[in-house]
Each structure stands twice: as structure tokens, then as C-alpha cells.
Amino acid sequence: MTEPEPTDPYRACLRVAVSSLCTEVGYDCADSTALETVTEMVQSLLVELGRSARAFTELASRVEPVSADIMLAMVEMGMPMTGLQEYAMRSNRVSLPSPSATVTAKQ
Amino acid sequence: DQAPLPIAPTSPPISDFLVQLEDYTPTIPDSVTAHYLATAGLETTDPRILRLVSLAAQKFVSDVASDALANCKMRQSNTATNNKKEKKYALTTEDLAVALGDQGVNVRKPPYYQ
């Protein structure tokens, strides 16, 4: 958290995504520590959602997850599905380019 | 009464929603979401699943950020002595701590450095 320089490219991309979401909400700038806190929490949320969804997948004796596994994981984590569709279709959304090209160029 | 059945009453819209996700681009790129899901052992090639997860994460960020922004605006209107021409909203750890406290997460400023 103290050194933002040598992070992996995925983390850097996640940071950019969090920044653009904050800009979209109406922020003009952000503290580095606050941004890093949100990024860390999103990363944690993604991994935890993956872990929980994998548990549901394996409980149903499958190796490939289906969307119901993700929904069950979300509900179990206390994230309601309601409002997600409206959120997805919001007007002023931004999308980032995939980082794959940059990553392959670096290595 | 609606709490025990969150999936059942919304089933038809959610299946439509999943179809809509086929050609949807979330802010968090698919490859980033796929990487973090793979960290937890969840390997998938279905882009709809990745986008559903991305959207869930994005909604979390947006909810927290708008909570923090509402806090920031309230604090600025309370201390309305400095009438600057341009109002700049900065995401600070203090506002974030209040917004995350509503979600049950305790955030504190680091006691030293920076």
C-alpha cells in the first residue's frame, strides 16, 4: 500500500477503474490512501465472491460455474441483486480498454 | 416477507438481464475480473459471469463513493465560510470511513507516514 509503483498490472487497472467510477459519481480528485483503500476492498470483494461462487459450484458437483452460483454467492455476501440492472444501464458509464495489449508489450 | 425469496420473484427479469450482458462492457475489464476470480480458483470462460461479477463490484464502489460524496457535500455546506469560486470534491479517507462504517467496515487513517 505504501508503494504504488511495483504493483501488478491488474491491480493498476483496477485502480483506474475505481478512479473512473469515483469521477462518474462526481468526485474531482482523490487521496492516494483513500483510493488505495477502495481498490483493496474491491480486490478483496472480487476474490471473496470468486471463492464463495466456487464453493457453490463444487457443491453442485460442477466444475464450470453458472450464473446462479454467482447470484447465490452475492446474496450470501449481502449484496442484493435488485437495482443491478438499473445500475448497469445508467447513462454516463465509462468503460476501460482491456489491459492485455499493454501487458504483453511490457513483458 | 420479501426477504426469504430474493431470487424467485425476480427470475424472469434476471434471465433477460443475463442476455443483455452478452454485449455489455463494464468499467472493470473482463480480463481483470477473470484474473481475480482465478486467484480464488474460479475459472470461467463465460463473459456473462465475468460481467455480472464486475457489475456487482462496480455497484459497491459507486454506492460507497456516492455515500462519501454526500458526506463531503454536507460537511462543506456546514462550513460554508470559504466561498471559493470552484468547488472541488476530493475523496478523502475521513469521508470514506463514514461511508464504509454504514456498510460495517471499519477504516482508520494510518497512524503514521503520509
Spatial distance between the Cα atoms of A50 and B29, rounded to a whole number of angstroms: 16
Return the bridge partners of B91, or none.
A30
Chain A CB contacts of B88 below 8 Å: 28-29
B80-94 pLDDT per residue, tens: 655 555 678 888 888
Spatial distance between the Cα atoms of A11 and B37, rounded to a whole number of angstroms: 13
Q: What is the pLDDT of residue A84?
A: 84
Three-state secondary structure of A58-92? HHCCCCCCCHHHHHHHHHHCCCCCCCHHHHHCCCC
Is residue B94 within 8 A of residue B72, CB to CB? The reply is no
Spatial distance between the Cα atoms of B66 and B75, rounded to a whole number of angstroms: 14
φ and ψ of A79, to 5 deg: -105, 110
Chain B CB contacts of A100 below 8 Å: 31
DSSP A5-66: TT--HHHHHHHHHHHHHHHHHT-SEE-HHHHHHHHHHHHHHHHHHHHHHHHHHHHTT-SS--
Q: What's the complex ipTM?
A: 0.83
Of all residues in chain A, the one with the smallest CA distance to B40 is: A51
Q: Which candidate from B6, B36, B90 shows the least CB-CB separation from A81?
A: B6
A38, amino acid identity: V
Q: What is the pLDDT of residue B74?
A: 85
- Whether residue B59 and residue A13 make contact (CB cut-off 8 A), yes or no, is no
pTM exceeds 0.95 for this model: no
A98-107 pLDDT per residue, tens: 765 554 555 5
The answer, for B74 touching chain A at a CB cutoff of 8 Å, is no
